[in-house]
Structure 1
Amino acid sequence: MSDATLNASAMRRGSFASVLPKLAATLLMLVLAAVWLGPLLLIVMTSIKSNAEFLAGPFALPRSPTIQPYIDVWFGLGFGTLLRNSLIYATAGSALAVTLALVPAFALSRMNVPGRKWIFGLLLTGLMLPQQTVLIPLYDTLRTFHLLDTKIGLIIVHGVYGMPLQVLILRGFMTTIPPEIEKAAYVEGATDFQVFWKVILPLSVPGILVGYTLNFIAIWKEFVFGLVFLNSEENFPVTVGMLKLNSDRYLAVFNLPAAGLVISQLPIVILFILTYRQISGGNLSGAVKG
């Protein structure tokens, strides 16, 4: 065998050896994508089947797709009211969380506050508290101020509970703003409030949007607070309202819970699509720096 043939064979083996890790990584990604997407596709397929068709073939493709399960769930559960309530809680609660976090984040990132590291660490302890550990004190507080089973009470709970994460995001984002901009404003005679309101706050809009979006999604998916602090069906968010689908009436029905789940997740999917560039464009990594 000639040297040229041996060299060509060695090059082919080397080329295959270099491509093999990429093929293995691609195969692994495809498997993980199938594992992640499989249940989602199954839920969507179930939601457009009749119950009889689902029982005949749970994993089969729909032969006669129908939107009747969506109609039955929408009017049977009053999904319009549930979605409206969740939108109120997520919108107002996220706005309150961001508003409460703006001043502490500015002070901890741009000002020489004594013991600011300790203060920052104390604020972040809120991220380490599971919801179950604060249910009793929050319940007693809401009952004292007659805010149980009210929309405003749950909004306040979401805002306060979400504030520590917003402080973490906004403080990190504000530390990335060049200090020269701030110094120039002070040279012009600006006060601390003017620097915050006219300089730092406008430059922090990307970080605010990231924090608001993440908090919105968290509140939309939240279940425990709504279940414990609300009793009236007219105040239920969508996560609590869907408990009806677990009643005896729906035990033998599979397409209605699937349709309800799809409807409840659509707003989050739409929000993620609209804010994907903002979140993935580097603003999130900048927002949690420092």
Structure 2
Amino acid sequence: MKTNENTIVDWIWRIVLFGWALTIIVPLLWVIYESLKTNQEFFADVWALPKIWAWENYKNAWVSYELGSTMLNTLYYVGVSLLLGTFLTTINAYALVRLQFSGRKLIWSMIMLSLFLPGINALVPQYILMRDLHLLNSLTGLIILDSLGESVFFLMLLGGFMQSLPKELEESAYMDGASLFQTFLKIIVPLSMPGIVTVAIFKFLGLYNNFLGPFIYLSDASKHTIGVKMYHANQIMQYKSDMVTLFAGVTIAMLPTLIIYILFQRKIVEGATLGAVKG
């Protein structure tokens, strides 16, 4: 018989999780209210609330850091990479999980082996390849690199979800005359949508927060994404003391990820849990 009484262990876990949540929420709130101060207020007391809400800091950040063009670069890079990368992950997971062909187990073994290789090891070969293909200093080249670079985590997540689907669905489609691609597009993709949405959200967060790739491959400042732009804005603070404008820029930069997470947090949990349980 179930009971609703909370044990001491339950309360301890709640306190731990509450403390963990505070370590995430408090810094975010601190950055936001620092962005609404004047520089004099900031250097006088970093913990005090602003006396006058300095909303002009956001306008100054938008103009001085050229966030308009930077956001367009980021939108192009993230948007195209997200669509192309999610499609390739979906079709790769389908081929490796649902189709039977010689060498499939070997391919999976090689993919699993890559888990033990730090991603930084591929940096030099990737750079040489990008240079030889004349794709350096190009957002399109960066999109190609990130889209074709498959993630083992996404393959395992989506593959585990697809593996739970009944095989009879495909067999029925084949008997009705459907081709392989029609079966994939009209049956597997709709049924796997919770897993695909989960992968897409994780990909978006990873692409939007990607710093190393754009920093290394994009030398032209006019092509920088939001992560690289804010890095350079932070470097400028070594020579000037306009910290509140920097905080305003950071707040603008983190808004898209916060909005995406707030809107789709249930999808993330449901998709990840469902894939783990069914897989």
TM-score with structure 2 setting the length = 0.88
Which position in structure 2 is the counterpart of 1:256?
A: 245
* 1:78 pairs with one of 66, 72, 79: 66
Equivalent in 170, 182, 188 of residue 182 of structure 1: 170
Closer, same or farther in 2 for the Cα pair 1:21/1:76, shift >3 Å?
same
| Aligned 8 A contact 1:131 1:224 in 2 | no
Query: Residues 24-63 of structure 1, C-alpha deviation per residue, up to 9 Å, x if partnerless?
Result: 4443333333222221121111111111001111011111
Residue aligning to 1:108 = 96
Shift, 1:176, TM fit: 1.7
1:160 is aligned to: 148
> Conserved in 2, the CA contact under 8 Å of 1:45 and 1:61?
yes
- CA distance 1:151–1:64, change in 2 (3 Å): same
Alignment map for 1:47-126 (pairs within 5 Å): 47-126=35-114
Deviations 1:180-209 (A, max 9, x none): 222221232333333222221222222221
Residue 265 (1) aligns with residue 247 (2): no
Question: Post-superposition shift, 1:146?
Answer: 1.2
Shift of 1:274: 2.4
Partners in 1 of 2:189 and 2:90 — Cα distance? Answer: 8
Q: State the SS of the aligned residue for 2:134.
A: coil
- For the Cα contact (< 8 Å) 1:97–1:163, is it kept in 2? no
Question: Following the alignment from structure 2 to structure 1, what is the Cα–Cα distance between the partners of residues 248 and 52?
Answer: 16
For residue 127 of structure 1, report the CA deviation from its aligned partner.
5.0
C-alpha separation in 1, matches of 2:62 and 2:16:
39
C-alpha distance in 1 between matches for 2:8 and 2:89: 49
For residue 122 of structure 1, give the secondary structure of its aligned residue in structure 2: helix
The structure-2 alpha-carbon separation of the partners of 1:183 and 1:161, relative to structure 1 and needing over 3 Å to count, comes to: same
Counterpart pick for 1:46 among 29, 34, 40: 34
| TM-superposed deviation, 1:125 | 4.5
Q: Does residue 220 of structure 2 align to residue 232 of structure 1?
A: yes
Letter in 1 for 2:39: N
**Deviations, residues 148-194 of structure 1 (Å, cap 9, x unaligned):** 10111010111123444432232122112122222221232333333
How many pairs does the alignment contain? Answer: 273
Task: Tell me the amino acid that sits aligned with residue 79 of structure 1.
Answer: L
Distance 2:210 2:67 in 1: 17
Matches within 5 A, 1:166-205: 166-205=154-193
Tell me the CA shift for residue 269 of structure 1.
Answer: 1.2
Q: Compared with structure 1, are the counterparts of its residues 94 and 116 closer, same or farther at alpha carbon in structure 2 (3 Å cutoff)?
A: same
Residue 274, structure 1, aligned to residue 263, structure 2: yes
- Structure 1 residues 20 and 200, CA gap change in structure 2 (3 angstroms): closer
Question: Which segment is superposed worse, 24-33 or 202-211?
Answer: 24-33
Question: Does the Cα contact within 8 Å between 1:49 and 1:62 map onto a contact in 2?
Answer: yes
Do 2:89 and 2:150's aligned partners in 1 also have CA atoms closer than 8 Å? Answer: no
Residue number among 255, 269, 273 corresponding to 1:285 in the alignment: 273
CA deviation after TM superposition for structure 1 residue 243, in Å: 2.5
* SS of equivalent residue, structure 2 residue 183: helix
- Please tell me the residue identity of whatever aligns with 1:89: Y
For structure 1, the 5+ residue unaligned runs are 1-16
Give 2:25's aligned residue.
Answer: 37
SS at match of 2:149: helix
Select the structure of larger CA radius of gyration: 1
| Structure 2: segments with no counterpart, 5+ residues | none
CA distance in 1, matches of 2:137, 2:259: 29
Identity level (%): 30
> How big is the shift at 1:23?
4.3
How many Å apart are 1:20 and its aligned residue? Answer: 4.5
d(CA) in 2 for partners of 1:75 and 1:247?
15
